[in-house]
Structure 1
Amino acid sequence: MGIDLPLIWLLIIGFGIMMYVITDGFDLGIGILFAFIPNRQHRDTMVNSVAPVWDGNETWLVLGGAGLMAAFPKAYAVVLSALYIPLLLMLAGLIWRGVSFEFRFKADEAHKAFWDKAFMLGSIVATFFQGVTLGAFIDGIPLDDSSYAVAGWITPFSFFTGIGTLIAYALLGVTWLILKTSGPLQQSMVRITRPITLALLASIAIVSFWTPLRHPDIAERWFSFPNLWFFLPVPFLVLLACFAIFRCLRGVPHAGPFVWSLLLIFLGYTGFVISVWPHIIPPDLTIYEAAAPVQSLGFTLVGALLIIPIILCYSAWSYYVFRGKTQDGYHE
């Protein structure tokens, strides 16, 4: 039996996207949370909690996009052709957020409020259109024509997944700040974690019912036998993660809420993979139909296996060096 190169590359791309969602998710979540924290000093502390690592987090987005282009060029072409507007808006939000991240520290008093709002807006726009892209992807991109509807991604479902992504990243951001801060700011984060968690649970429930109602093939996958027995633990694990977050918020929380929020996001990601497998472009294109030639897959795999450990090592080292609480812009 030969090596299944398309599957290996799908795992690599999926790993890169998941790492991006986790790491840049709490970065973007901090920008979203600016709407709830008007205090300038607290905002500085929030930003400084990710300042040493935020730009490295986006490496995973580059890995996922480059891997898709190298390993599944047809899927890359289809996605960028059909969803170029939301993807362009997402990138515009990421660029605007990056600019405001740096400028908000260097601006004079007259312009600091502007760059705070710019940072918040860039984070919201980038996150929302990531979710819109996800929703449009789940809805599927028909391949029976060489052209795609420019506004095909504008649907109630994709807009709702955009809102759900905002809530998910806000949960990552607020639990990250519980881990990295203390005092009044941490107490504020604890207070808003509860409603954000409940909002995310409601979003997950709505998407979990809405998706199979829109797509009978997904409904058959989840609710037919014997699949139902294998997938039944997923909703119970979601409820367990939410309960564990509430439990960890008692007393003086530290890493617990963030760890459980990571599990919650991972479960949502797992549900997405179960729903679309083995298609890389639902509902028609599988990973094997979209894969590059075997020679290309093997050649690029060598480079990926060399670079991924390097990314993991320098990311882990940066998080280790800047571990501890952030107090008034400094680590303890």
Structure 2
Amino acid sequence: MDLAVLWAFIIAFAVIAYVILDGFDLGTGILFPLLGRHENRDTAMNTVAPIWDGNETWLILGGGGLFAVFPLAYAIIMPAIYAPIIAMLLALIFRGVAFEFRFRTVRGRWMWDVSFFIGSVVAALSQGIALGTLVQGIDVDGRAYAGGWFDWLTPFSLMTGVAVVVGYALLGATWLVMKTEGELHDIANRFAWITGIGTLVLIGLVSLWMPFLDAEFYVRWFTFPLIFYVAPVPIMLAFAAFSLFSSLARGKHVRPFLSALTIFVLAFAGLGINFYPNIIPPDITIWDAAAPDASLIFLLVGASVLIPMILIYTGYAYWVFRGKVVEGEGYHH
């Protein structure tokens, strides 16, 4: 059994769990100023209030896991993306505070609404920029980061940043379609169309740009016979997109959200195809970056206890707070 590969999958799982779970509550924040009356904003906030902080558990698992399991990768990647990561953490703090404070004030509510919105946008943009930086390749000299302070700021990384913001807004819109009714449901449905089209256009642009960043990406997607192995990803993405728009058009409540999640998972799978077996393109592999086997086994014991526990309590929380959130109801009132 290859421990390094197993851990790469565990960390990839933590990252995608974070992206789809925190994605929809960041997306709710991104749409916040566009939801009309402040009662609508209260209701939108109440849909994510019981679960948003649990969703961020996966961020800690992904980041902490990377540090423990692939220390070399952590040591190279972090200096390359310090600025977006610090911006993301500050934004998440502002956003977290806004949850509690906006329900406690009337006069200052606008201030916390703005904090919630800006925190959500900055966190999403930072994650997209960090991802773009990793995809475009990091300058490595020996076993250390060799780039400059602003290598993360490129047209490609800014475009991936915008793509993540729009994609999260799609997750937020479809989440509100599923969780609300009446006026807010209709507003969310309208934004699901707009952000859905935007997300697909941006996924297309990023995907077309990628092969020009690294010859290896081009080889994996456009050469024979590899193209047969990777073709199912874009084909399934097209089906997921069709499912999203057809279910929105037919007024479905749950399926648009599941379709949007599927689009994200498939886009993530596409990134995995680009990267594997490297953890830092173009040349540091999973095995180069992994900690010694003894450490990996020790950490695996902990992970095999913790991850099922996190999954169980997360699932239970979603089960308890299932169903529609009605205006005027919520855990704060």
Q: Shared fold by TM > 0.5? A: yes
The Cα shift of 1:249 comes to 1.3
| Deviation per residue, 1:160-207 (Å, 9 max, x gap) | 000000011001100011110011110111112111111111001101
Structure-2 separation of matches of 1:288 and 1:305:
21
Q: CA deviation at 1:213?
A: 1.7
| 1:94 corresponds to | 92
Q: 1:139 aligns with which of 118, 136, 140?
A: 136
SS in 2 for 1:330: coil
Supply the AA of the counterpart residue of 1:155. T
In the other structure, the counterpart of 1:259 is 258
Could you list the runs of 5+ residues in structure 2 that have no partner in the other structure? none
Which letter maps to 1:161? T
Partner of residue 62, structure 2:
64
Q: Secondary structure at the match of 1:326?
A: coil
CA distance in 2 between counterparts of 1:329 and 1:232 reads 48
Measure the CA separation in 1 of the matches of 2:309 and 2:84: 31
Q: Which aligned pairs between 1:1-332 and structure 2 lie closer than 5 A?
A: 3-107=1-105, 109-144=106-141, 146=144, 147-330=146-329
- The amino acid of 1:67's aligned partner reads G
| Structure 1 length-normalised TM | 0.96
Shift >4 Å, 4+ stretches: none
| Secondary structure, aligned partner of 1:324 | coil
Cα deviation, 1:211-246, whole Å, max 9, x if unaligned, reads 102221110111111111121222222221111111
CA distance, structure 1, for counterparts of residue 54 and residue 104 of structure 2: 21
SS of equivalent residue, structure 1 residue 81: helix
In 1, distance between residues paired with 2:278 and 2:234?
Answer: 23
Structure 1 Cα separation of the partners of residues 314 and 34 of structure 2: 29
SS in 1 for 2:322: coil
Q: Does the 8 A contact of 2:170 with 2:191 survive in 1?
A: no
Contact 1:86 1:132 in 2 (8 A): yes
Question: For 2:140, what is the secondary structure of its paired residue?
Answer: coil
CA RMSD of aligned residues (A): 1.1
Within 2, Cα distance between the matches of 1:129 and 1:288? 28
- Whole-Å Cα distance in 1 between the matches of residues 240 and 312 of structure 2? 28
Q: Give, in whole Å, the separation in 2 of the partners of 1:293 and 1:234.
A: 34
The worse-fitting range, judged by mean Cα deviation, of 130-139 and 278-287 is 278-287
Deviations 1:64-95 (A, max 9, x none): 11111111011111111111111111111111
1:38 shift after superposition: 3.1
Q: Deviation string for 1:260-294 (max 9, x for gaps)?
A: 11110011000110011111111121000000001
What is the distance in 1 between the residues matched to 2:316 and 2:213?
44
- Aligned-partner residue type, residue 191 of structure 2: I
TM value normalised by structure 2: 0.96
Return closer, same or farther for 1:307/1:150 CA change in 2, 3 Å cut-off. same
Output the CA distance in 2 between the equivalents of 1:293 and 1:139. 28
- Find the residue that maps to 1:101 and give its secondary structure: helix
> What is the CA distance between 1:329 and its match in structure 2?
4.6
